[in-house]
Structure formats: C-alpha cells, structure tokens
Amino acid sequence: MSDDLSNLAWQRPTPAQPTVLERPRRITDVCGQEDATRDIQAFLEDALDPARPKLRCRTLLLSGGAGIGKTTIARILGNIALCWNPTEGHQACGTCAICKAFQENPPRGIDDYFEISAAEYSGVHAMSHLVALMRRAPLGRFKVGFADEAHRASRTGKDALLKDLEEPSPYAIYILATTEPDKLGAALLSRCHHVRLRPPSMTDRLHFLRRRCEVGWGLPPETYEPAALERLAVRVGANYRELAAALDRCITAGPLTTDTVDRLFPNPLAACLCSAEALLDNDLSGAISALVEAPGTPDEKRAAMQSLLLGLSLAGVRGVVTPYDPLSDVPLERRQALVARFDARRPQSVSLATYLEDCARFWGASR
C-alpha cells in the first residue's frame, strides 16, 4: 500500500450519483457486450417494424453466465419496445410513465409487460398464464413477455411456451433469459434469435470497477489504488453483480487499497502455496490441513490450484510475471524458491505440476 493512501483518513464516501450504482437503464450503459448489443439492436429494428413479415423471429434468447446482464438487458428491451416516445435509433425516452415504471426493480404495473422468473414459478400454470396474457390484444403497439431463468421451467411449461412461439400473435415479443440454453430443448431454441452474452474480460471488469468508483461513488482516482481494483477483478471473477458488491464492501470498509482487498477477499492461492511449502518441509499433516482448511468450495479450490500452477510455472520457471497476476501479492523470490525446491527433488519426489494436478483431482473427487 502506498504511504499516501495509508495515511489517508478514510472518509466513507456517499454516492455522488446514486442512480449510477443501480442496474444500467440504457443499452449504452451495459458494459462489455458490444457484439451482443449490436445483434440485439438488429433484432429490435426487426421486431419493432410494423411492416415486418409475420414469419420473422420475435423471440430473443439471452444466454450467458450469472451476473453479466441478461435480466438487465431484457428489461431495457422491454422498456424500449413499450416506451411512449421512443427516440431515434430505438432509445427509450426516460421520462414517460412506462420508462418511470421500468426504473423499479422489478418493474411493476406496466400494461403490456409481463415478467416471470421460472426459478420461482416453474410449473405449466405460470407459463400458460404468461402465454394467455400475451395473447390478449395490447393496449399499445406491442406486448412483451419476459421469461427469466427459462431453463428452470418444467417440461410442460416449456411446451406451453413453445406452442405460442409456433403461432405468435403479431404484437407479441418474447424474451427468454437463461444461464443454460442447452436445457431449453432444440425445438424452443430453433424458435429464438439467440444472443450469447460473453463473460467480462479483465479489461471489462476494470472498466466497470473504475466507473463504479469514479462515477457511482464519486471517488477521484488519486483516492484509491488502481492495484486494488486489479486484485478485486482477479479474485471476484467474471460477474458484474459480485464485482459491484465486492467493491462496495471495500469502499465501505475503506480505504480502497490492496490491503483492504486482501483483508476482505483473501487470496485463495495462499493456502495452496502454504500446503506446497509444508510438503517440501516433509510436514505432510501441515500440507493436508492447509488444503482442507482453505476457504472456498471445491470448485474454487480447483480453480485456485490451477491458477497457482499457471502462476508458478510462468513466474518461477520462465521468469514471466503476467499482467493481473493472481500471485501478485506473493514475492517473486518466494515463488521461484518453491519451484526450485520442487525441481531439485525430482525425480525421487514428485514434480510441482504433478503435485498440483493431484491436489486438483483430490478436490474434484471430494465434492
């Protein structure tokens, strides 16, 4: 941590513009989905075109990992389709009653907009109810039906939806969102315009975190350590929701430094590293307890092992330090010493790579 920041009396900031900390409201505020948004824009132009031939696809499927914007984008689309005064280029006006109602989370009481989460209501009744609502004539030009977590719908629920998608009413626009598109079935998939959202890259994550710090929380760049954001981006992973929550925790605990990040989100690789070192000291029980007591789920531990293997082989063997290195808080000498000690014991003993792969297998099997 730099001296300047360590001496800073951290005053917990209050959000300068609280709205920026909420769900993005415009498609242009959605981070890291440029290809997807172009594709969605084309879908919208088609779907909102009154002269559009009846057979073109009016069902959008958004798929991708957790916390990357599926529900957010679906609601933005619903808003655009139903806004009373859409602007050029398919943007919602932001001021009409519909736009105001879409600012609620979840949006409520909007004519012509129906949203169900199949995670909560998976049965055929819920889906049939959605379909029945969608078949009634709209008050405006369109009706939007959004089935969130669509893969969780029961088989009969999916059949009910499929039936309506086969003979859609001319005003109906369906949006489905799912983390597991393969579970929807081929028939449903073939009726959808499928847009895959991509997991945020490191650049996307850093951009998102910086924007949340500076615009959302009103923190000038000199009041936080950029390395703290890098560390968070590596440790929290490819999920904007979790990144936002983690950043807010760090800012609230403050100051926003690597020390604060390390305290609140300890490096999962630390336990792996200690285990490997204990093994080299012939302390088998220490090596095992470091692994067993390490925090995290088996999957997280497996991922930690793999990162350790990669980080060590790059930094230790090849002398390369990668950008956004998950081992950035472990001194290079310690990594290189570990690799050297493992290498020195080959072939009588186990190689570092074999040891780490065995650990990963052990955790995989003990799930």
Tell me if residue 87 falls in helix, strand or coil.
strand
Binding segment (CB under 6 A) for ligand ATP, from list 30-38, 49-57, 267-275, 289-297: 30-38
Question: How far are the Cα atoms of 16, 87, 104, 230, 290 from residue 202, in angstroms, in the given order?
Answer: 26, 33, 30, 8, 29
When the beta carbons of 96 and 310 are compared against Zn ion, the nearer one is 96
Q: Based on the number of CB atoms within 10 Å of its own CB, is 325 exposed (0-12), middle (13-18) or buried (19 or more)?
A: buried
Cβ proximity of 188 and 220 under 8 Å: no
Establish if 23 lies at the interface with ligand ATP (CB under 6 A): yes
- Give me the least distance between CB of 102 and ligand ATP, in Å please: 13
Q: Is the dihedral of CA 314, 317, 320, 324 positive or negative?
A: positive
Which option in Mg ion, ligand ATP, Zn ion, none does residue 246 bind, with CB closer than 5 to 8 A by kind?
none
Binding segment (CB under 6 A) for ligand ATP, from list 5-13, 23-31, 120-128, 230-238: 23-31
Q: Which residues are within 8 A (CB) of 96 and not within 5 positions of it... i.e. 6 or more apart?
A: 83, 84, 85
- Give me the least distance between CB of 33 and Zn ion, in Å please: 22
- How far apart CA 231 and CA 326 sit, in angstroms, is 8
When the beta carbons of 130 and 177 are compared against ligand ATP, the nearer one is 177
Binding segment (CB under 6 A) for ligand ATP, from list 67-75, 90-98, 150-158, 254-262: 67-75
Phi-psi region of 269 (alpha: psi -120 to 50; beta: other; left: phi over 0): alpha
When the beta carbons of 237 and 298 are compared against Mg ion, the nearer one is 237
- Whether cis (ω within 30° of 0) applies to the bond prior to 347 is yes
Establish if 69 lies at the interface with ligand ATP (CB under 6 A): yes
Establish if 68 lies at the interface with ligand ATP (CB under 6 A): yes
- Give me the least distance between CB of 98 and Zn ion, in Å please: 5
Residues in contact with Mg ion by the rule CB under 5 A: 70-71
Which option in Zn ion, Mg ion, ligand ATP, none does residue 32 bind, with CB closer than 5 to 8 A by kind?
ligand ATP
When the beta carbons of 70 and 235 are compared against ligand ATP, the nearer one is 70
- Whether cis (ω within 30° of 0) applies to the bond prior to 53 is no
Residue burial 1-40, b: 16+ Cβ < 10 Å; e: rest: eeeebeebeeeebebeeeebeebbbebeebbbbeebbebb
Which option in Zn ion, ligand ATP, Mg ion, none does residue 118 bind, with CB closer than 5 to 8 A by kind?
none
Which option in Zn ion, Mg ion, ligand ATP, none does residue 68 bind, with CB closer than 5 to 8 A by kind?
ligand ATP
When the beta carbons of 2 and 95 are compared against Zn ion, the nearer one is 95
Among 142, 174, 240, 355, binds ligand ATP (CB under 6 A): 240
Quote the tokens at residue 42.
């084309």
- How far apart CA 280 and CA 287 sit, in angstroms, is 9
Establish if 32 lies at the interface with ligand ATP (CB under 6 A): yes
Residues that bind ligand ATP (CB under 6 A): 23-24, 30-33, 66-72, 179, 208, 240-241, 244
